[in-house]
């Protein structure tokens, strides 16, 4: 054992003796100095053991550690053996680790607390050298979730967590405030939405219910609220799909504060209620049914670490995949509890007058993990109560709301969103593929794409040509929500400011940026904030000189979403893996609608029959473009090697090409023409042909979108994650190989671990960076 490890072991033993107050005999407990004398050839004094140990480089002679933490999870055998009292043992049993998914996921090689910023690559290994905190929390058996530090980073940079109770106050009494309906009885009521049996709930004004799983909710009487959105009985959209995995905040269903008269659902009189069932006018009635969309197939193991986010197959209430959280939960969960400033901002900013002709353009900005996407979804749902359609501009390349990253685009949304991003992928109205999770390497292309998307919104979407006058909602204009990235420093700040100047929003929702405490050294302070001031306006200036004058806009300052210890189970890198794997297992509808989505996660991607498409100058796909770092060096004869096993974008070329390039499939260094991105595809294999290649493609795009594709774009920065390449079925992967072939014959995988120069994972030193940069 090294001297560094001996000092740490001694300090750990000393602290354990003070905190746990163990009953030890004085003869059985050696001093810190004595305990370290038993460790190899080093010895340190008690005074030295209390001194902070300097950071040292890892060496090959260092003994292996059982955890990835800087400190031992238990005392070394060479120091002291402690027999703990039974009370302490019981206390430790009650403080379990996070959950099975967190243990199943191999955190040692994943990114830690990274986001869509310039630190995306640098933070891949942040926390790996620094170590991870030994977090122990109480499983949510109502009420509390204990506090601590979130994330895998060191406490110096981690965000303090808060204690939040799951506010489920509903006390179930069968045939009094809830009763079950079989599938046959449910079909007689005329409700055609949802699958299988259902349960009708009756909530009082002071009751609330937390629900986990995949289900469809249908309001029957009164208005209810979930995810900051009010829904009521409606003939246009009577039911709403809800996705509530335990990896994300659970919805809290509660009565709305709406005091107007709402007509009940037409089907409410077709239901045979028990005599004792409470269905007074002041109570809120709603129906929950199963939703057989196929997303619960993740429990078969398609995505390691996310196997149990939908819990078991059937609850005691008789609904498959639906779990009302009333008393306890088999896995730790946490509720959707927004900051109070969110409610104020949503109520004051999303209530324009029906007679007003002002276009609603909202921009949401803030640091990473502040709750931007969650708030933007709540804003979209709030606007859908007023407008018939809402346009969404995605500027976040790292974690897109309707795509799996690397795409900046526009989506037209007509239905409410009740679920995390991976539950509602959609075909974009117009999009550009950049093929990277951060615009750090392509800021010019990024800004050109955002500018083109904003122009398309202003001239093609903002004021639709046809609108319905019979609808009670606003149909003559479509509002815009701009979801920005969390990179707000350095170049990211310049890009964010440029996007805001181009969009000219009249509503800006800015999240407060909390700087870590104690990060300033003595004698140093934070850098001063630059404030821009506009020169006085002069009407005699030419027309183009005053374009930069900001229009009047309302700015709403929001608090960041509370950070809970459970959120540290999954990093943004994990969520990106989840998004791209579920994307390729999905079947997208022809339009940007999210109401008819389905997934098939019962079998791996290698068992799905692919599309066979010709890539040649005269074929359906006539062009191939390679972008990104190093793409200029790929020769024409090596195009097949570059494309095989790659994730590519299917695009539709909308610009005319010069005559000398029409019959050329690929040219090194050629930039992509003006085109629209339709979606992503995975090239599972290819074979050379006389004029090009025959591609075997896996893609969730519908045939109507595939018929528009005329070219492909590849950037090597986005690849299919490892789970998508494996046969994750039981017995599918063995020591000898996979699907009946040895590892040497399995494509795209190499397990030889050949030692090469610079073949190890890059490690970044975070202790030499200047604060604020």
**Where is average pLDDT lowest: 111-120, 312-321, 726-735?**
111-120
- 346 in a structural domain: yes
| Residue 43 lies in domain | 3-89
The larger pLDDT score, comparing residue 229 to residue 311, is at: 229
> pLDDT tens, 603-644?
999 999 999 999 999 999 999 999 988 888 899 899 999 999
Confidence check: pLDDT of 688 > 70: yes
pLDDT of residue 747: 83
For residue 54, pLDDT over 50 is answered with no
pLDDT at residue 81 in the model: 31
pLDDT in the model for residue 41: 41
Mean pLDDT of 299-323: 83
Closest among 672, 637, 642, 631 to 655, alpha carbons compared: 672
Per the domain annotation, does 390 fall within a domain?
A: yes
Read off the pLDDT of each residue in 247-253 and give the average, rounded to a whole number: 90
Least reliable range by pLDDT among 220-224, 527-531, 687-691, 721-725: 527-531
- CATH code for the domain of 455: 3.40.50.300
pLDDT for the residue numbered 85? 35
Domain end position, chosen among 725, 748, 764 = 725
Mean pLDDT of the chain: 74
Is 585 among the domain residues?
A: no
Tell me what pLDDT residue 393 has. 96
Does residue 138 surpass a pLDDT of 80? no
Confidence of residue 377 (pLDDT cuts 50, 70, 90): very high
Look at 634 and 769; give whichever has higher pLDDT. Answer: 634
Q: Based on the fold, state whether residues 489 and 357 are members of the same structural domain.
A: yes
With cut-offs at 50, 70 and 90, classify the pLDDT of residue 359.
confident
Q: Are residues 551 and 662 in the same domain?
A: no
* Lowest mean pLDDT across 94-98, 586-590, 684-688, 726-730: 94-98
Q: Give the residue with greater pLDDT, 158 vs 706.
A: 706
Taking a C-beta distance cutoff of 8 angstroms, is the pair 142, 327 a contact?
yes
Residue 31 belongs to some domain of the structure: yes
The pLDDT of residue 669 is above 60 = yes
Alpha helix locations (H) across 434-543? 443-456, 491-503
More confident: 262 or 424:
424
Which one of 325, 358, 380 terminates a domain? 325
Phi/psi-derived region of residue 770, left when phi > 0, alpha when psi is between -120 and 50, beta in every other case: beta
One domain for residues 355 and 488: yes
Grade residue 6 by pLDDT with cuts at 50, 70 and 90.
low
Do 557 and 622 belong to one domain?
A: no
pLDDT in tens, 420-457: 999 999 999 999 999 999 999 899 999 999 999 999 99
Global pTM value: 0.75
Q: Of 352-361, 471-480, 540-549, 704-713, which one has max mean pLDDT?
A: 704-713
Phi, psi of 400 (to 5 degrees): -70, 150
- For residue 325, what pLDDT band results from cuts at 50, 70 and 90? confident
Determine, yes or no, domain membership for 524.
Answer: no
Q: Are residues 648 and 701 in the same domain?
A: yes
DSSP per residue over 31-84, as a string? -HHHHHHTSTT----HHHHTSPPPP----TTSPP-SSSSSS-SS--TTT---PP
Quick check: is 73 in a domain?
Answer: yes
- 321 with 465, same domain? no
Most confident range, picked from 225-239, 292-306, 309-323, 557-571: 292-306
Claim to verify: residue 213 and residue 79 sit in the same structural domain: no
In a 3-state reduction of DSSP, which class is residue 455? helix
Q: Computed from CA positions of residues 731, 732, 734, 736, in that sequence, does the dihedral angle turn out positive or negative? A: positive
More confident call, 566 vs 733? 733
**Which of 695, 710, 725 represents a domain boundary (last residue)?**
725
CA distances for 513 relative to 131, 365, 369, 371, 714, angstroms: 25, 10, 11, 12, 36
* The pLDDT value given to residue 356: 62
Question: Residue 554: is the preceding peptide bond cis (ω within 30°)?
Answer: no
Does 104 have pLDDT greater than 50? Answer: no
Top pLDDT among 512 and 679 is at: 679
Select the highest-mean-pLDDT range: 51-55, 120-124, 451-455, 525-529: 451-455
In SS3 terms, 557-607 reads as EECCCCCCHHHHHCCHHHHHHHHHHHHHCEECCCCCCCCCCEECCCCCHHH
Tens digits of residue pLDDT in 747-765: 888 777 667 676 676 666 6
**Residue 2: predicted pLDDT:** 52
Q: Phi-psi region for residue 196, left (φ > 0), alpha (ψ -120 to 50) or beta?
A: left
pLDDT at 544: 40
pLDDT digits (tens, 9 = 90+) for 471-509: 778 888 999 999 999 888 889 999 999 999 999 999 999
Task: Name the pLDDT band for 113 (thresholds 50, 70, 90).
Answer: very low
User: Is residue 140 over pLDDT 50?
Assistant: no
Given this model, what pLDDT does residue 16 score?
A: 54
Are 352 and 301 within one domain? no
Q: Is the pLDDT of residue 679 over 60?
A: yes
Q: What is the pLDDT of residues 269-304, one digit of tens each?
A: 778 888 888 888 788 899 999 888 999 899 888 999
191 band by pLDDT with thresholds 50, 70 and 90: confident
User: pLDDT above 70 covers what percent of the chain?
Assistant: 66
Look at residue 542 and tell me if it is in a domain: no
Query: CA–CA separation, 599 vs 596, rounded Å?
Result: 10
pLDDT of residue 458 exceeding 60: yes
Specify the pLDDT at position 98.
Answer: 32
* 576 shares its domain with 615: no
Q: Do 203 and 84 reside in the same domain of the chain?
A: no
- CATH number at 718 reads 2.40.30
Kindly state whether residues 395 and 271 are assigned to the same domain: no
The better pLDDT of the pair 391, 572 is held by 391
pLDDT band at 729 (very low <50, low <70, confident <90, very high): confident
- Residue-wise pLDDT tens digits, 639-661: 999 999 999 999 999 877 665 66
**pLDDT (0 to 100) of residue 165:** 57
Over the stretch 544-596, which tens digit does the pLDDT of each residue have?
A: 444 444 567 889 999 988 777 666 788 889 999 999 999 999 999 887 667 77
User: Are 266 and 185 in the same domain?
Assistant: yes
Q: How far apart are CA 7 and CA 32, in angstroms?
A: 9
CA distance 317 to 209: 14
Q: How many domains does the chain have?
A: 4
Q: Is residue 100 part of a domain?
A: no
Helix axes 443-456, 491-503, angle to 10 degrees: 20
- Which residues share a beta bridge with 255? 224
What gap in Å lies between CA 193 and CA 217, rounded to an integer?
9
Residue 261 has pLDDT above 80, yes or no: no
Let me know: does 627 contact 648? Beta carbons within 8 Å: no
């Amino acid at each position: 054992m090294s001297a560094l490890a001996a000092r740490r072991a001694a300090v750990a033993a000393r602290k354990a003796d003070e905190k746990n107050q163990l009953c030890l005999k004085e003869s059985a407990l050696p001093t810190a100095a004595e305990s370290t004398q038993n460790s190899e050839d080093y010895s340190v004094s008690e005074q030295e053991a209390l001194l902070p140990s300097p950071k040292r480089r890892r060496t090959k002679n260092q003994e292996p550690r059982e955890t990835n933490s800087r400190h031992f999870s238990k005392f070394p055998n060479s120091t002291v053996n402690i027999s703990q009292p039974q009370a302490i043992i019981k206390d430790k049993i009650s403080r379990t680790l996070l959950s099975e998914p967190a243990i199943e996921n191999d955190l040692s090689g994943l990114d830690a607390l990274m986001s869509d910023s310039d630190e995306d690559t640098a933070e891949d290994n942040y926390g790996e050298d620094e170590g991870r905190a030994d977090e122990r929390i109480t499983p949510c058996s109502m009420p509390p979730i204990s506090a601590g530090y979130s994330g895998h980073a060191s406490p110096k940079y981690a965000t303090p967590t808060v204690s939040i109770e799951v506010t489920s106050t509903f006390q179930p009494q069968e045939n009094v405030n809830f009763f079950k309906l079989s599938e046959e009885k449910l079909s007689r009521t005329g409700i055609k939405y949802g699958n299988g049996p259902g349960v009708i709930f009756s909530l009082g004004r002071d009751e609330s219910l937390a629900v986990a799983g995949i289900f469809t909710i249908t309001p029957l009487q009164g208005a209810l609220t979930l995810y900051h959105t009010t829904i009521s009985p409606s003939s246009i959209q009577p039911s709403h799909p809800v996705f509530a995995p335990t990896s994300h905040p659970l919805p809290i269903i509660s009565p709305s504060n709406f005091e107007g008269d709402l007509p009940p659902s037409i089907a409410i009189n077709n239901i045979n209620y028990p005599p004792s069932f409470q269905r007074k006018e002041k109570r809120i009635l709603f129906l929950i049914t199963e939703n057989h969309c196929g997303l619960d197939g993740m429990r078969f193991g398609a995505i390691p670490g996310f196997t149990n986010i939908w819990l078991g197959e059937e609850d005691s209430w008789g609904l498959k995949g639906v779990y009302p959280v009333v008393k306890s939960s088999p896995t730790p969960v946490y509720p959707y509890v927004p900051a109070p400033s969110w409610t104020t901002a949503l109520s004051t900013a999303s209530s324009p007058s029906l007679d007003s002709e002002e276009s609603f353009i909202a921009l949401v900005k803030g640091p990473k993990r502040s709750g931007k996407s969650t708030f933007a979804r709540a804003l979209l749902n709030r606007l859908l109560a007023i407008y018939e359609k809402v346009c969404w501009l995605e500027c976040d390349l790292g974690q897109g709301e309707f795509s799996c990253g690397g795409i900046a685009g526009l989506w037209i949304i007509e239905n409410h969103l009740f679920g995390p991003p991976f539950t509602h992928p959609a075909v974009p109205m117009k999009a550009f593929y950049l093929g990277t999770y951060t615009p750090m390497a392509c800021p010019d292309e990024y800004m050109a794409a955002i500018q083109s998307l904003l122009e398309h919104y202003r001239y093609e979407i903002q004021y639709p040509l046809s609108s319905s006058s019979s609808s009670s909602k606003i149909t003559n204009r479509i509002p815009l929500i701009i979801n920005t990235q969390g990179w707000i420093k350095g170049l990211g700040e310049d890009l964010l400011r440029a996007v805001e100047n181009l969009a000219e929003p009249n509503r800006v929702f800015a999240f407060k940026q909390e700087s870590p405490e104690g990060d300033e050294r003595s004698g140093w302070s934070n850098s001063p904030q630059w404030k821009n001031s506009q020169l006085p306006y002069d009407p005699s200036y030419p027309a183009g000189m005053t374009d930069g004058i900001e229009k009047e806009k309302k700015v709403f300052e929001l608090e960041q979403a509370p950070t809970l210890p459970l959120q540290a189970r999954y990093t943004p890198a994990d969520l990106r893996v989840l998004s791209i794997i579920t994307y390729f297992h999905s079947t997208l509808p022809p339009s940007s609608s999210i109401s008819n989505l389905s997934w098939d996660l019962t079998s791996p991607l290698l068992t799905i029959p692919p599309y066979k498409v010709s890539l040649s100058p005269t074929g359906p796909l006539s062009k191939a473009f390679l972008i990104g770092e190093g793409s200029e060096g790929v020769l024409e004869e090596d195009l097949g090697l570059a494309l095989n096993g790659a994730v590519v974008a299917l695009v539709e070329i909308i610009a005319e090409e010069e005559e000398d390039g029409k019959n050329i499939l690929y040219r090194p260094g050629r930039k992509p023409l003006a085109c629209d991105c339709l979606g992503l595809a995975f090239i599972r294999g290819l074979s050379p042909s006389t004029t090009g290649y025959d591609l075997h493609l896996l893609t969730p795009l519908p045939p109507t979108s595939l018929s528009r594709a005329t070219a492909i774009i590849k950037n090597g920065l986005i690849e299919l994650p490892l789970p998508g390449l494996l046969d994750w079925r039981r017995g599918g992967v063995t020591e000898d190989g996979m699907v009946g072939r040895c590892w040497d014959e399995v494509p795209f995988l190499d397990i030889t671990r050949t030692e090469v120069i610079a073949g190890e994972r890059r490690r970044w030193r975070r202790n030499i960076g200047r604060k604020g940069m």
